[in-house]
Amino acid sequence: MVLFEGRPLPRPKLCGGGLTPKAQRLVPREALDVVERRVDRVEIRTPHLGSFRIEVPGATIAMVERRRFDHALVAAAARAGADVRDATPVTDIVERPDGVTVRTATGRYEADCVVIADGEPSRLSRAVGLGSPANRLALALEIDVPPSPLAAPDTSVLSFGLRGGYGWYFPKNDHASLGVGSYRHSQHRRLRNDLVHLGRDLGLEVDARRVRGHWIPMGLRVGSVASERIVSAGDAAATADALFGEGIAYALLSGVVAAQAISDWSVGAMPSLRGYDGRLRRALGPPLGRLGLIAAATEVSTSAALLAVRLSGAVRERAVDAIGGWSAPFDIDRHCEVACACDLHEDEPASASIANAHQRADRRHCAGCTMACAA
């Protein structure tokens, strides 16, 4: 397997850098060595309800810098046998009935299949006919800032005061990620001011010259993300969710689904990789759909939705579950074949499932699993 990285490693990546528990369970253990801070308190700020905190000990967020985290993932892939070619952008992909030709600035390569994971906008997906629009597209602006003098070091801040999105403050070691994002086009021109105001609310000055922006594709692509020998994953397949804009966990899971589809296709269990599209939608469609409905309801009445979170234990539990991923497709004890890419539990009776997987301390590790799920 050859992994082409377009830029020299380690390379920067715009992202808040919060790893939810479901993301943490899907990465190699050594990639968690770069975690800078763990946060289990969230301060919710609203324009009409004031501020309140939620304790989330069952859904601790691991804060990472994407430059170091992505480099650790690539290093893990290299140790697993991948031939890593960094600073080697792919310029063209040509699919044929008997293979795929990959052209780069340094040469031409032949492959049986290709996984495209070049983010948004996915130039390569568009080139091979897999780049249809995302169901929803958000714009995010962010900047690294010093730690806020008005926020506790173990607390992240979510500020709900803009349509179609929110602002965030994620503390790291010696700095924090400050950002705002919205999928409402009418809000995009105001985002820079929203970011400045959020900074001031936290006792921080935002240097507008250092603000950077990026697109977050949500809810999967409208069209197919697979052809006979090519699949798209991560942002290239628009796998982020529409409520939090979380992308890492869903991108990781799309990679697992892609690996399983390729494995099945290579042994003749699938006639082509086109079946990956259906597998991905079955795995991610339900959770992304639920979060999309919650996002729509929240926009109708942000105050009502957040008041429910503040006052209802059941609603808070649902919110923590969405962050932690203790239900399908991230429940690794009941859905190990998805989250671990192994068949350890395939024939186990339903009674063997563990309802509260995150509280179980004596889990076995899957002998054939390369993930960090310890199922």
- What integer is the mean pLDDT of 360-372? 39
Helices (H), 90-212: 123-127, 185-188, 191-201
- What integer is the mean pLDDT of 105-123? 96
Residue 365: CA count within 13 A, CB half-sphere: 9
State the average pLDDT for the chain: 85
- What integer is the mean pLDDT of 24-40? 92
- What integer is the mean pLDDT of 263-267? 96
First to last CA, the chain: 26
Tell me which DSSP letter residue 361 carries: S
37 or 352, higher pLDDT: 37
Angle at 170 between CA 164 and CA 176, to 5 degrees: 125
At residue 62, the 3 state secondary structure works out as strand
What type of residue sits at position 292?
Answer: G
Nearest to 287 by CA among 224, 360, 220: 220
- What integer is the mean pLDDT of 316-344? 60
What is the rounded distance in angstroms from the CA atom of residue 256 to the CA atom of residue 258? 5
CATH architecture of the domain with range 2-324: 3-Layer(bba) Sandwich (3.50)
What is the rounded distance in angstroms from the CA atom of residue 237 to the CA atom of residue 134? 8
| pLDDT range class, residue 332, cuts 50, 70, 90 | low
Nearest to 335 by CA among 238, 260, 234: 260
Residue with tokens 């602006």: 141
Nearest to 118 by CA among 90, 76, 83, 81: 90
- What integer is the mean pLDDT of 312-336? 69
C-alpha 3 chain-centroid distance: 20
C-alpha 310 chain-centroid distance: 26
- What integer is the mean pLDDT of 35-63? 85
pLDDT at 79 over 80: yes
Residue 234, token pair as written in the block: 């991560």
Residue 72, token pair as written in the block: 């650790």
